[in-house]
Structure 1
């Protein structure tokens, strides 16, 4: 290849990946999807009711505030982003008329100037017209220092957001930022007019009565039980095809499976069918059961502000004392895949060469002995007045996690570590307790990516920790100058090959530091009645209802 050909090739990649910079579900680089704009199709007459079950309760209804995956189960039904990722990792337009690229003039070649065109005629659920002012308001609210934003990454680089017309706006970036489009794809647009006269934007009407442009309208909520949504017959894309969508919460996973088996649940969502029920589930008449890879990884997350977890030797010892293989095989029937990283193995950016975990009680004890942690009369280690004792929390009723906790609790005792199990109802567990790092340690499943893009600044940048005064979801309070440097460097690059080396190095640093103890990448068992069509796996989105607009009953 000549130098000229190399230059042309890199420029083409840069333009094609200006927004994406990521691998799709297959790990291959694909072209940008400008199509799938199906605005104002003749909507089918919605009919029927569907019950979608989650093991946790959605409680955060303003999607720009700190939230977890289960909340997005509601957002995809009620709100819309500008565009989104499909299962192959390509963008498709939703509120945007098309996805901005260098090729179509939506982004300047240097990545610093953006222009966005919106669909015409879209309305909010209350009938108010949707305009560029709503997009401007949503983007600027994330940067408001008085607002509890779920993310600051990317948005803080935007400036001079200008409304050109009701359907056009522009902005500038203070520096090129490759993950920006992926961040926009996970940003749900909210209505500006709902905030008129609201003194505290953290306490708006959206918190209890969300209004969006999405396929379903919020009808009512019975706290602790379910949310009822009704069809938005003025929706701007195909669908919805369901008249009523019930999102039901069933914290006990055995109960959730039983209700799916009996037919009370039409689609079983987060945390799905547990592996101990797989053999029976596959024989159920009238049910579709499929194993699906997910970008989510399970880990023991550590609050690194706690004195027990300050030393690397302690974190290494705890990891060595987890019998990961037995947990996966005995409790999860070998369904999930062991992992050493947060990056899904389907990703182009996955690092396959990280050190492999070894369950070794002798090694764990040796690490703690060498670090000066001495066993007391009760057998629990202590150093400088700090006992190696802490709590571990997760969702009450998740029986597989609870069994894993008990297993880990026993092996930790073998190395002189006392772990108290302190599980909480979902709404409490994943509220301030999680978001504000009030925990000692947790069993948690996380998808740290924004779509298919490898940037994880919102979870691992030191400035993204709420407990340390930042804005983001770094609830581990992880603080690494090297990771900060790599995240910054990776966000400035638009060439996938260059980004790959950066993010693989970052995975190695995090694997060394162990702010969380990685367990496995999810492979989940999904199920729905055979008269339901539409549910589709999407490793680039965080929850099942990403395409709920398309779901139907036959």
Structure 2
């Protein structure tokens, strides 16, 4: 069984790290002073293995890097290695049971020590430790062992033939951490290593000098960075917090900042800001989907944390009649118009991109309130006391807590969806949580999206690259967050379906690109139709940069900060 040409189309075989990094803007390292970046969802940690939040993954990418990553065209390119291993070049074995990575000679950590295969193996051991609660463990699905061949060669062995072996050490979600720095942070100790988690030593263009959680990160150029003359900036002022409106204004109207991430704002607001003349919005469509997650556990506050993490029937959300009626009641075209304009599209799918995996079997673009009411009536959900709220056949009030992060567009969505659900007889309480806390991953906080102490919650996320295998693994039964995993894990709904798990296993063993895409579409349909989530909007990724900032190349397939080493000040 060999990797097909179609499957390997994501691999840019001729690319090298230096080619990817080149921008033609030459000069001394640090020549352009300071660059200011604002993420209104403030980073709370610089260790992606302990947080699934995009804000944390991307801020960490300034410092720590993977062996390979995806460029802005979705192509897999070498980063800390000489080339992408394939069957054709001998890096992937014919039986698809192993992949061997050859590290580029001469790379050092920012502290001047050599970057070696031992660091790569350590990273795998760190994430795969069963007591560690690694947020990115799906990247290591199927890995049997990681073996150091020599200082610059590492081999990943899989338990079964693995046609897509680019999960471990690829993309911003799976970087390499330094073995020497994190040696005492294995397993359950991982969250306790504050110094390491807030200031990782890296191979990237910048070095952390100060980290104030949910506030500010100060960084300086890495003097041991492998590319001569890069980064152009001597320092980074990375501000977190506030809201998307203030972030957008700070770049496009006042010029206070050079780059603002994730401007989740109405189209007319973006246009007004752009008129300020200081900055330019940039956008691109990847797999980012705003969705409502359905809790497959009982979130009753009377239950303790252990009980609230156990997959058990929700009093009514597990009934297809209920979640289908809730979906039918939503006017998605209106949500797109209100929230995103041309930067949004109606979607019924969890994974709408790339096109090959976008399922066309589901429809949801027309609101049907009367149909939703009829569906609930037929299933026995009726309002027996005339208060406007239906009860289950067992007499439980259909009342839900609907939570999301604090953001103007999301609060608009909440208000509209509450109105529609009220109209079909479901009582809704709204709650919003500061985004830095909601996406923070703090195992001690009751307000994280991983703990999901609500009936439904709304957010968006995406994945690195163009192959959704690892992302689709987020709905596997064993990926549910719990106290045993330090509340890490990407199966936020605690969705558990035996057929889904079996089909995903088939995906991991399928080489043909067409067959892989077909299985991915099936997995998408199972997750959506069996109660993991209600998709709403396929969102474009929209950010903005100062007109004086050159080298920005928006990447919807990896970290937005993937090529920050290439950024420079125009005219200086």
Segment drifting more, 308-317 vs 332-341: 332-341
Matched, 1:414 2:405: no
Match of 2:243 among 252, 264, 272: 252
TM-score scaled by length of structure 1? 0.90
Mean CA deviation greater in 214-223 or 424-433: 424-433
The aligned counterpart of 1:214 is 204
1:459 alignment partner, one of 470, 474, 477: 474
Task: Report SS of the residue matched to 2:391.
Answer: strand
Partners of 1:534 and 1:207 in 2: CA distance? 29
Give the Å deviation of 1:521: 0.8
Deviations 1:209-239 (A, max 9, x none): 2221111101112334321111112111362
Cα contact 1:292–1:525 (8 A) shared by 2:
yes
SS, match of residue 128 in structure 2:
coil
* Cross-structure match for 1:44: 28
Contact 2:43–2:214 (CA under 8 A) maintained in structure 1: no
Query: What SS class does the counterpart of residue 382 from structure 1 fall into?
Result: coil
Which residue of 550, 563, 567 corresponds with 1:533?
550
User: Secondary structure of the residue that 2:528 maps to in structure 1?
Assistant: helix
8 Å CA contact 1:107, 1:114 repeated in 2: yes
How do 1:271-420 residues align onto structure 2 when only pairs under 5 Å count?
A: 271=263, 274-306=266-298, 307=314, 308-375=316-383, 376-383=385-392, 384-396=394-406, 398-420=407-429
- Alignment partner, residue 3 of structure 1: none
The equivalent position to 2:233 in structure 1, one of 225, 242, 253, is 242
1:518 equivalenced with 2:527 (yes/no)? no
1:26 paired residue number = none
Matched, 1:190 2:206: no
Give the corresponding residue for 2:306: none
- Show CA shifts across 1:464-523 (max 9, x none): 112396763010111122221221111111110111221122222233224211111112
Q: 2:516 aligns with which of 499, 502, 515?
A: 499
User: Which stretches in structure 1 are left out of the alignment for 5+ residues?
Assistant: 1-9, 23-28
| 365-374 or 204-213, which deviates more | 204-213
- Report the alpha carbon displacement of residue 16 of structure 1 after superposing the two structures with TM: 4.6
**What whole-Å deviation, never above 9, does each CA across 1:43-98 have from its counterpart, x for those lacking one?**
73213211111121111222222321111221210101001011222221112222
TM-score by length of 2: 0.87
**Structure 1 residue 31 displacement after superposition:** 5.0
Residues 127 and 438 of structure 1: CA distance in aligned 2, closer, same or farther (over 3 Å): farther
User: C-alpha distance in 2, partners of 1:62/1:43?
Assistant: 31
- 2:62: which partner in 1? 77
- 1:34-183 matched pairs, under 5 angstroms: 34-38=14-18, 44-46=28-30, 47-153=32-138, 155-183=140-168
How many Å separate the matches in 1 of 2:144 and 2:479? 20
The match for 1:425 is: 434
Structure 2 residue ranges without an equivalent (≥5): 299-313
TM superposition outliers: structure 1 runs of 4+ over 4 Å = 39-43, 468-471
Deviates more, 1:88-97 or 1:177-186: 177-186
Distance 2:354 2:150 in 1: 41
Query: C-alpha distance in 2, partners of 1:15/1:323?
Result: 41
Q: Give me the CA root mean square deviation.
A: 2.4
Contact between 2:109 and 2:115, CA under 8 Å: does it hold in 1? Answer: yes
Structure 1 residues 197 and 453 mapped into 2: Cα distance closer, same or farther (>3 Å)?
A: closer
The superposition leaves residues 413-455 of structure 1 with CA deviations (integer Å, 9 ceiling, x where unpaired) of 11111111111112321235212333321120111x3411121
State the distance in 1 between where 2:27 and 2:506 align.
45
- Distance in 1 separating the partners of 2:402 and 2:83: 46
In structure 2, relative to structure 1, the CA distance for the partners of 1:468 and 1:327 (3 Å cut) is: same
How many residue pairs were aligned?
531
Q: Paired residue for 2:12, among 32, 42, 61?
A: 32
* Contact 1:194-1:206 at 8 Å conserved across structures: yes
**Alignment deviations for residues 215-270 of structure 1 (CA, whole Å, 9 cap, x no partner):** 11011123343211111121113621111112212332222223221111211112
CA–CA separation in structure 2 for the residues paired with 1:160 and 1:346: 31
